[in-house]
Amino acid sequence: MAKIAFILLCHKDPDAIIAQARSLTEAGDCMAIHFDARAKEADWRRIRTALADNPNVTFARKRIKCGWGAWSLVQATLHAVEAAVETFPRATHFYMLSGDCMAIKSADYAHELLDRDDVDYIESFDYFESDWIKTGMKAERLIYRHYFNERTQKGLFYSAFNLQKKLGLTRAIPADLQIMIGSQWWCLRRRTVEWVLDFTRERRDVMRFFRTTWIPDETFFQTIVRHVVPNHEIRTRTLTFLMFSDYGMPVTFYNDHYDLLLSQDFLFARKISPGATELKSRLGELYLSGRTDFTISNEGKRLYKFLTERGRIGRRFAPRFWETEASLGRERELLIVTSKKWHVAKRLVEQIRQSTGLPCIDYLFNEESTPLPDLGGIQSTLEKRTRHRRALLRMLFDYYGSNRLVICLDPSMLDMIQDFYADRCTCRLLEIDCDFTDDYLLGHARRVGLAGADTPQDTVDLLLPTIRYDVVYESDQIRDANFPLFERIRESADPETNTAPLARFLSIPEPQARALAETDHLFTD
């Protein structure tokens, strides 16, 4: 049976730390605490006094002052780990936590999960090959020595960095190490922790190297664990649920996130708001509940991304400078069909293909699986198609030997539609206005990963109005853009009403357009 030794790094809120320690150890687990030496001494004494009689709590033998991005965070972790290894010989796993973390599963569930596989859980991605670092320094974190704290000693930090860079004072990475990177929130087996501690005592050269790297808490354990443990015994993931905003700041969870958190495939979550007293109370009770019947829908990150990106959809399609002068051709005509119900647009486009003989392509900028001819690789990924969209369409015009081409686009891609309208070619736009039931919107949410079959009903109830608003908003945006040669057909209209817009859009006789409008089951879900 798994027995967890929690490694808790904290610096504030002594009452919350005391409550967290009591809750997690009451289930039979244990904890080693490092309380930042910068914190108030009164807070430290309060924690020590409150937990003094708890045999399942110990403290790091040495307290140090911690700074973001500095070696001190790793050193504090090592002090706490050493205390845990020494004090709790029966601990099987060591789980890294912060004071902002709380359990989102029960102790029984956590123990069962850890007993299931004899593995370590730690994010461990290749430092140079992965895209884990999105912006800022990359190699510079390692090849230069960083003696100062970037946040509290910014002037000294960048002066030292720029001087080394100017003088070419780089250093080599230890030759036998593959530098890895990932989240600092890991769960490691006892054997692994002991191997890591042995490594720190034996490899002083590596310790000297990491002491002057920048943000070593994202690389030290991630690298050493990968060095001492076989790859097949590592799960490259964290068991702590966390998300980051577009600005790189951790997302904070509040009282109304309880059901969302429980449905995620993780054991803990951070950051829990200090003011979320109801959430903290419910999660504190949860760890001791004995529950194992958690339904995992795992839609949290996709849902957050969807909700925070509303109103900014499509901006990634801003014209690239090398494409602004590239034209599809003045003599060509691009016919764009847009609908949130992709299956309806695809049905209509297939009938257009059969009726007119025009080359028609479904959602080529939305679905990677859309069939396309081999165009030398430019068609191979959505990212390539989007980046070289005008070049791609020119090649499709050439491939089909036609000056008219029909494509489908999602209504969210307003910027792309505007980009095509800015071209010298003639653009026509047909919007298919569909009705949306709650069942359909829920199905849509499940198809795109915003919800799962087991998403709590409370979450669904909050989500559906947001999705419905977005559908309406996207349609309004298209109409407000005042595109020339814009037509619209409606599910609520009869075929006779929809005939004229179809005839104008396709430049075909009305009888032919009437046949398209009367397509069997055109709007059927």
Q: How far apart are CA 136 and CA 158, in angstroms?
A: 13
Q: How far apart are CA 22 and CA 16, in angstroms?
A: 10
- Residue 473's pLDDT is what? 84
pTM score: 0.63
Label the pairing between strands 4-10 and 30-35: parallel
pLDDT tens digits, residue range 147-202? 998 888 989 999 999 999 999 999 999 999 999 999 999 999 999 999 999 999 99
The alpha-helical segments, DSSP class H, found in 107-236 are 107-116, 140-143, 154-167, 190-202, 204-211, 220-228
Q: Tokens for 60? A: 């790091």
Are 345 and 337 in contact, with CB atoms under 8 Å apart?
yes
Residue 315 has pLDDT above 90, yes or no: no
Alpha-carbon distances of 451 from 48, 262, 407, 411, 443, rounded to whole Å: 44, 14, 29, 21, 9
Q: What is the DSSP string of 13-63?
A: -HHHHHHHHHHHHHTT-EEEEEE-TTS-HHHHHHHHHHHTT-TTEEE-SS-
The residue ranking higher by pLDDT, 135 or 497, is 497
Per DSSP, the chain holds a count of helices (H) and strands (E) of 20, 17
Domains of the chain as residue ranges with CATH: 4-132+181-195+218-296 (3.90.550), 315-517 (3.40.50)
DSSP structure class, residue 234: E
Provide the CB-side half-sphere exposure for 69 (13 A, CA): 14
DSSP structure class, residue 217: G
DSSP structure class, residue 237: S
Alpha-carbon distances of 94 from 10, 134, 137, 139, 204, rounded to whole Å: 16, 29, 31, 30, 24
Q: How far apart are CA 129 and CA 354, in angstroms?
A: 47
Residue 63 has pLDDT above 90, yes or no: yes
Closest CA to 452 of 438, 442, 462: 442
Closest CA to 185 of 106, 241, 143: 241
Q: Is 133 exposed, middle or buried (0-12, 13-18, 19+ CB in 10 A)?
A: middle
Could you give the 3-state DSSP secondary structure of residue 326? coil
Closest CA to 285 of 438, 508, 103: 103
Give the count of beta carbons closer than 10 Å to the beta carbon of residue 519: 16
- Residue 497's pLDDT is what? 96
* Least reliable range by pLDDT among 176-190, 195-209, 285-299, 318-332: 318-332
299: left (phi over 0), alpha (psi -120 to 50) or beta: alpha
Name the strand (E) or helix (H) holding 82: helix 71-87
pLDDT tens digits, residue range 13-51? 899 999 999 999 999 999 999 999 999 999 999 999 999
Residue 365 has pLDDT above 60, yes or no: yes
Are 340 and 411 in contact, with CB atoms under 8 Å apart?
yes
- Residue 176's pLDDT is what? 93
Give the bridge partners for 6, in sequence order: 31, 95
Average pLDDT of 302-323? 48
Are 470 and 310 in contact, with CB atoms under 8 Å apart?
yes
Q: Tokens for 215? A: 């943000």
- Residues in the chain, how many? 525
Average pLDDT of 475-489? 92
CA angle 305, 309, 313 (to 5 degrees): 125
Q: How far apart are CA 99 and CA 20, in angstroms?
A: 8
Question: Letter for the amino acid at 377?
Answer: G
Give the count of beta carbons closer than 10 Å to the beta carbon of residue 518: 14
Residue 319 has pLDDT above 60, yes or no: no
Q: For residue 325, name the pLDDT band (cuts at 50, 70, 90).
A: very low
Residue 480 has pLDDT above 50, yes or no: yes
Q: Compute the CA torsion angle 78, 5, 193, 102 (nearest 10 deg).
A: -70
